[in-house]
Chain A
């Protein structure tokens, strides 16, 4: 009875160990293969037309953002305050 119990424990320990190794090995292999798979998939599945959509949307987005802006003339006082703030921030960053 005790021997059977010992055997059962041994088997379950062995199984646990093996499953752990399988899990770790699988994860490591997946990580190593990720570079090749990612490159293969990304290169083949995205044609030039699809990629150009991304670039176009970036350009359109910038155009939209610039259209929302305004150029406001600064007074001398405002210019000096802006410059002081920039220089002050610069010194605090490099300190």
Chain B
């Protein structure tokens, strides 16, 4: 379109032409800036850029073909090996057949040493500082006093109010055992266990009917065939609905980029387990899936110095976990939510 209207032709066309040219110029400028910004942001080699692009746009792991899964695993192995300067493997070992994992913890034996917490952090590549992300939290609770005189005094407290925690017998005003009401997360005595306290480790309960799975809008978190609730970290959108849904507060969100020093990184990982996470995704206990799918025990169990932790296959009547359920005093925790946790607390 000519700009030489000189007032003799339709001036609106000339004005329009100028407007079009300006707009086109702006568009090209904008695209150039945007393109440069993205290049500067990802100032890596072309191969690395391509890998990042593919990882960003990969689909849910469960929906991938075998070929796509292999490529995904290879990409992650290469990225982690480069980032942490050690040969890293990302296993995609499938779930075991005929297995439903259950976990039991003896709250009488637990001494609150937190060895399990630190073993978990080491094994599962949690962020180590600013902050240290811990999948297991050990809460300290005051021991109550159980009095037989008061057994038939008073009236039963309702479930929501006046909670007396451990209840052995009814109509007791005094707490029998311990209450969860006065639990403390930060305790640092000179020695554990303290005489007047007992300790209550809490981690993901691997619910059989998990509310977190129901609320996830993209099915990034789901229950895998062995009963463990896992997360596809690359599919997670970080909405934190699962965290809000969890009645046990067991999920952790990566508000910032995890700080995992290279020397502390455990290079033996699993896609759904302990591979290093990124900012903006959820994480939680997976019963050390990278170990249990190879027939090993979770790290917390192996680390416990007093043997308070038991683990096994709920489908096997001869397993240790089934023996605990059959013979010990087992407690329900937050039973009113009907989540059917597969993490049981017991006493001898």
Contacts and interface: CB of A to CB of B under 8 A. Distances in A.
B13 to A, nearest CB: 6
A55 to B, nearest CB: 5
Contacts of B56: 35
A51 interface: yes
B250 interface: yes
A92 to B, nearest CB: 10
Chain B interface bracket (under 10, 10 to 19, 20 to 34, 35 or more): 35 or more
B329 interface: yes
Nearest to A38: B41
**Main DSSP-derived SS at the A contact region:** helix
B136 to A, nearest CB: 11
A18 interface: yes
A69 B334 contact: yes
Interface string B203-246: 00000110000000000000101010000000000000001001
B292 interface: no
A11 B256 contact: no
A67 B180 contact: yes
Interface in A21-71: 21-22, 25-26, 29-30, 32-33, 35-37, 39-40, 42-43, 46, 48, 51-52, 54-55, 58-59, 61-71
Contacts of A33: 34-35, 37-38, 41
Contacts of B202: 62, 66
A14 B17 CA distance: 11
Q: How large is the interface on A (under 10, 10 to 19, 20 to 34, 35 or more residues)?
A: 35 or more
Contact of A22 (B23, B100, B183, B223): B23
A79 B256 contact: no
A73 B168 contact: yes
Interface in B34-79: 34-35, 37-38, 40-42, 56
A22 B20 CA distance: 11
Interface of B: 1, 10, 13, 16, 20, 23-24, 27, 30-31, 34-35, 37-38, 40-42, 56, 100, 102, 107, 130-131, 133, 137, 139, 159, 163-168, 177-183, 185, 200, 202, 208-209, 223, 225, 227, 243, 246-250, 252-253, 255-257, 279, 314-315, 325-326, 329-335, 340, 342, 345
Interface of A: 4, 7, 11, 14-15, 18-19, 21-22, 25-26, 29-30, 32-33, 35-37, 39-40, 42-43, 46, 48, 51-52, 54-55, 58-59, 61-74, 78-79, 82-83, 85-87, 89-90, 93-94
